[in-house]
Structure 1
């Protein structure tokens, strides 16, 4: 397990504020078992500050965490909104060949089902309705596509690429079939 700031960070949680008077924090956990937030070693924020989980318990839809480095409510309040990371190397390897971590998608090349280059995955976002891939083309502004089976039918980690279906991904508009939506039938 890594004991220094991550070189390949993976987001495990976000502090949502203080809980009680003794320095506990409410944390939204992104681990499979929310209370396992500290199971992968110390956590780090974007600046490299270290947080060691002493205890974690589920309360409603968050995990209440006691960090060794946080002694009182004032310190806990200052952590509100802090993202907590571990290094990718601290996470267990995938058990199945087709399993992967969302963070593994960043840096992969993106091609259409026809083999045309689209760009590179630069980020994965979750705004609450499912994961969204941000893709930077060689030129121009980045585009966002849904990370769904319809839009992304193939993830090839060994080949370091993902394959997208342009219509389902929203990269091109669907062409109506003859007779649909006033399209000519001749």
Structure 2
């Protein structure tokens, strides 16, 4: 993905017969996604959100370009992006875009390299970073100030103060 584009949402399954579609928003306030419309896909298509409404864990969206169920079904699982400069104002010191964290080197407070951040997840209890380690099992680390006291995007690293046992595992099987 070009570095100037940021993933902000993903189309889900069709909803009803009039072209509405489920939408997973990755914005802090899910309904704020409406303010970022039109949204772009990796292959250059553009989609304009007309309305969104909450529906449990997702939103239901009416999209100008989707006028029937077949059109809505055709975009299932499609990532939606916006140019970085369209994101709302400056972020707080402790706010980060997932795309900025992916690729950072994770090091311990003692300076030992743990691995590379490959993903950021939110399973409902806060963000978790997935760190790939050479020759060892990947580790999921809570992305809290207590466990990750320092993030240096420009320097390409984040510092981890791992709770006891977090990094203890056997080498990955060959």
TM-score by length of 2: 0.77
Alignment match of 1:36 (pick from 32, 36, 57): 32
Which of 63-72 and 146-155 deviates more?
A: 146-155
Unaligned runs of 5+ in 1: 174-186
Unaligned runs of 5+ in 2: 170-174
- For 1:166 and 1:59, how far apart are their aligned partners in 2? 37
1:172 matched to 2:168: yes
The match for 2:139 is: 144
Deviation at 1:70, TM superposition (A): 1.1
- For 1:51 and 1:142, how far apart are their aligned partners in 2? 39
- For 1:88 and 1:153, how far apart are their aligned partners in 2? 25
Alignment match of 1:123 (pick from 106, 114, 119): 119
The match for 2:172 is: none
Query: 1:27-62 CA deviation, whole Å, 9 max, x = no partner?
Result: 122222222213124223343332121222234443
Deviation at 1:141, TM superposition (A): 5.7
Deviation at 1:68, TM superposition (A): 1.9
The match for 1:162 is: 158
Alignment match of 1:73 (pick from 64, 69, 76): 69
- For 1:64 and 1:15, how far apart are their aligned partners in 2? 10
- For 1:42 and 1:169, how far apart are their aligned partners in 2? 46
1:82 matched to 2:63: no
- For 2:56 and 2:39, how far apart are their aligned partners in 1? 22
Q: Root-mean-square deviation (CA), in Å?
A: 2.8
Higher strand share: 2
The match for 2:99 is: 103
Alignment match of 1:20 (pick from 16, 22, 30): 16
TM-score by length of 1: 0.73
CA contact (8 A) 2:131 2:141 kept: no
The match for 1:179 is: none
